[in-house]
Every structure is written in structure tokens, then in C-alpha cells.
Amino acid sequence: MGEENKVTLYGMWASPFVRRVKIALKIKGIPYEYVEEDLRNKSQFLLQYNPVHKKVPVLVHNGNPIAESLIILEYINETWKHGRKILPEDPFERAKVRFWADFLQQQFLDSLCSATKSREEAHEKAMKDVFKKLTVFEEGTEGFFPNGSPHFEGENLGFLDIVLCSLFGSHKVGEEALTMKIIDPERHPLVHSWVTAMNELPVVKETLPPRDKMVAFIQSLRGNSLD
Amino acid sequence: MAEEVKLFGSWASPYTSRVKVVLKLKGIEYENVEEDLSNKSPLLLKYNPIHKKVPVFLHHGKPIAESLIIIEYIDETWKHNPILPIDPYDRAMARFWAKFIDEKIQPAVWKTLLAGENEREAAIEEAHQLLKTLERELNGKKFFGGESLGFLDVAGNVVVWLEVSQEALGMNLLDKEKFPILHEWCQRVLDDDAFKQVMPPKEKLLAFTRARFEAFLGPK
């Protein structure tokens, strides 16, 4: 493959942000080279392609690097116009999914990290925050599925679906690692049925990190910050 | 028709101002609803129940919140005089740097204001580095958008507002000796027709900033 149209994704196996890009590339059927980064020893390429944040994911297309997962998703949507659209065509629908994707992005990461790395009171507080915001999300997106439960034909995941899937899709893995419920079908029925429906799709299953490895990883994140 | 387009905002909010600049650049008529942020209207709370903030844009009765999301909506709905670049890669870059401004520069500036004696110098150094990184992106151009104001110039209004209002905060974070290129860019933005019409008068902004800062931290 020459430089023309070459796509390279720099990532890390456990990163939910990288997973978003993998899902999008798969949905669009875009062939790419994947480069696994050791985040404790970042490659010169990563540092060259994302000097500002030095993070994954970075997508390099025709030698041009793009960083930040949501920005990469928008780029993919605008560059490969064939096949499934990742963002809705209607500007208002688009604004809605951008708003809620931004909400997911901004509101949960701190609390989820905090919950992973703390115990007892601090942990309780962080999870309470997560649940409260899940309720806001649940109520705000109620109208998105007028035909009832979320249902995905083929692999028609969109921008917001991908973000939700990357954040809470593997909730069962997190629940096993932290021995607690994160997505409770009684407390958050819409989110639960939403991620469950997505988890059935091949494109989602194929981008799942290995389960045992993930459980161990989350537990080590927790273990390294306690004691 | 002006009655189809409404903007809920505050004259003192640079985020509201971003949207106003874009509406001016595109010549879109709208009804301006000035919110008292200490006493938010029921309509604002209805249209933005999640964040309860300005700006909120209303088009055909449908509300949109978050300034950059509003701007993308406006650009996609009124396609003349595009604000975002046409090329997908340039668009990605504009979005990347706008995000950098909101998620890195803004919090760093706040940190310098709130930092205690011991942390202030480090906070200022961090803010300076971030501003330098942004300055480099101008790369000899008149505006981030090229010959005329674009998405990133509009998003960068918070940097312009900082330059204008920093004296009210007793600081010189955006020192024109340290950031000559950014300083010149600020002057060009302030001189732009659309921007000029939307920017609050300097004295009014200084007085507001001073009062807000003192309310926040107690008088100096």
C-alpha cells in the first residue's frame, strides 16, 4: 500500500477512546494498519503525530495526523462518504448527538476513574455521581427510540452509539473487576437495553478487548492506587 | 424571518458572543434574549435543563446548547459564508484547536486566578506554555481561518477577551512582549467589523470582570 490513502491508527488495547475509532473504521469498511503503543514508553511516531497531548488514539491518513477520538470520528464521517453515515444528515439531529456525546465525554470520565481508584466513601460518592448523570442521560435521550427499545440493524451504529458503547458497553467487565453494578437494568433501563443491543453486533464484539486481560487491567489500576 | 431564530445569552458571556459573531458574519437576523444569569428565565431552564447555561440557540422552536455545537449547526444550516473550513482535515484541525482552547487554555487561565501564592508561578508558566502552543498555530497567517475570521478565530474570542479584561484582574497573562503574534492577532480580531459590533464596550467589560472577580475571591 503506498502513501496514498494509507490509514494508520495508533492505539492501546484497553483504551475506550481507541475502540471508538476501531468501531468507526470497521463500520465504514476502511482498511488500516494498527500500531499498539506502550503508553509508558511512547513511540517517536506518537510523539511526533500528537505532540500537544501525546495520547492515543491518533489516526494518520495520507501522512496527516488527527488526534482526539470524537474529532477523528467526525473526520472519518466527512472523508469517507460512501456507506453508512456515522453522523445524522439533519443538522438538528446532528447537534443533538454531538451534545449528548459531549455530555458522555465530559461528565463521566473523572467519576469513573475516581470510582476505580478509590474505596468506601470516596468510591460511593463517585458512583453516586455516575448514577445521577446516567439518569440525566437516560431522561435526555428518551425520545431517541420512538419505536421502543434500541435496535440496530446490520451495523448502523452512529456517533452517540459508538461513544456510549465505548464508555459503558463493557460494563459487565467493569462490574466483575470492581464487584459492583454499574449499569443496573432497574435503575437505567434505557442505557441497559441500549448497550445490550449494541453488544450483540459483530462490529462491537470484534473490537472488545480480551475479557480476562481487561478485568486484570482494571483491577491493577485499582490496586496501584490503593495501599 | 427573525422570529424563527432566537438566541438566549448574556452580554458578558464570551460563549454567547461567539454565536453572535457567527450570526453577524452570516447576516442572520435573530431575536436576542438577554438573560440575567443571577435570575435565569424559565425559558432558558426549559431549553437547557441539563447545563442551565447560555448561550442557547432556538431555531423553529428547537433548542441547541453549547456554543461550538451551535456554531456547527448554524454553519450547516445557513451554508453561505462558511465558518468552518471546507477540507475535512482542516476542519479536524480547527475543531482540535477550539477544543484545546476550551479544555486546556481556559481552565489553565482560571487556575492562575485561583492559585495560592505557592502555586501561582507554576500555574502561570503552564498557561504561558499553552498560549505559546496556540500562538504557533497562527504560523504567519492573518487569522487562524486564513484571510478572514474562521471557526478557530471565533472560538479564540476567549483569548481576545482575556487580553482586554486581564487588567481588571490585576494580571498580564497575555503579555504582548511574550506573545507578540497572538497580541497582533487579537488586535486584528478586535478590528474586524462583525466582531466590533458584538464586543461589549471595554469599560463595561472591565467593570463587570472586576466585580465578578471580587465577588468570587473577596476584594483585593
Q: pLDDT tens-digit profile of A131-152?
A: 999 999 999 999 998 887 898 8
pLDDT of the residue at A1: 43
CB contact under 8 A, A75 and B88: yes
Provide ipTM, 2 decimals: 0.94
Cα separation, A20 vs A22, in Å, equals: 5
Indicate if the pLDDT at residue B61 is higher than 80. yes
pTM over 0.90: yes
Residue of chain A with shortest Cα separation from B86: A78
Nearest to B50 by CA among A141, A192, A165, A183: A141
CB contact under 8 A, B64 and A92: yes
Nearest to A159 by CA among A80, A95, A227: A95
What are the chain B neighbours of A57 within 8 Å (beta carbons)?
none
Cβ atoms of B3 and B31 within 8 Å: the answer is yes
CB contact under 8 A, B96 and A94: no
Nearest to A68 among B91, B96, B133 (CB): B96
pLDDT per residue over B159-203, tens digit each? 999 999 998 888 899 999 999 999 999 999 999 999 999 999 999
pLDDT per residue over B157-170, tens digit each? 999 999 999 988 88
What are the chain B neighbours of A94 within 8 Å (beta carbons)?
72-73, 76
- Chain A residues 87-116 with a CB less than 8 Å from chain B: 91-92, 94-95, 98-99, 102-103
CB contact under 8 A, A140 and B92: no
Cα separation, A194 vs A149, in Å, equals: 7
Is B26 in the A-facing interface, judged by CB distances under 8 Å?
no
Looking at chain B, the whole-number percentage of residues with pLDDT higher than 70 is: 97
Distance from CA of B193 to the nearest CA of A (A): 28
The one-character DSSP state at B62 is E
Is B91 in the A-facing interface, judged by CB distances under 8 Å?
yes
Residue A219: other Cβ atoms inside 10 A: 15
Q: Is B175 helix (H, G, I), strand (E, B) or coil?
A: coil
| Radius of gyration (C-alpha) of chain B in whole angstroms | 17
> What are the backbone dihedrals phi and psi of residue A147, each rounded to the nearest 5 degrees, phi first?
-90, 15
Please give the average per-residue pLDDT across A155-159, as a whole number.
Answer: 91
CB contact under 8 A, A95 and B89: no
What are the chain B neighbours of A72 within 8 Å (beta carbons)?
92
CB contact under 8 A, B69 and A95: yes
Cβ atoms of B108 and B165 within 8 Å: the answer is no
Angle, in degrees to the nearest 10, between helices A69-79 and A159-168: 150
What sign does the dihedral A23-A18-B71-B137 (CA atoms) show? negative
Q: Could you tell me the pLDDT band of residue A154, with boundaries at 50, 70 and 90?
A: confident
Nearest to B124 by CA among B182, B175, B180, B158: B175
What are the chain B neighbours of A142 within 8 Å (beta carbons)?
none
CB contact under 8 A, B72 and A95: yes
pLDDT per residue over B102-147, tens digit each? 999 999 999 998 888 899 999 999 999 999 999 999 999 999 999 9
Is A75 in the B-facing interface, judged by CB distances under 8 Å?
yes
| Radius of gyration (C-alpha) of chain A in whole angstroms | 18
Nearest to B69 among A71, A98, A140 (CB): A98
CB contact under 8 A, B76 and A94: yes
Is B61 in the A-facing interface, judged by CB distances under 8 Å?
no
Nearest to B88 among A79, A98, A140 (CB): A79
Indicate if the pLDDT at residue B206 is higher than 60. yes
Q: How far is CA A30 from CA A5, A14, A71, A82, A87, in A?
A: 10, 21, 17, 10, 17
Q: How many CB pairs under 8 A join A and B?
A: 54
Q: Is A134 helix (H, G, I), strand (E, B) or coil?
A: helix
What are the chain A neighbours of B73 within 8 Å (beta carbons)?
91-92, 94-95
Indicate if the pLDDT at residue B219 is higher than 70. no
pLDDT per residue over A86-129, tens digit each? 999 999 999 999 999 999 999 998 888 888 888 888 889 999 99
**Site of grid cell 510523539:** A47
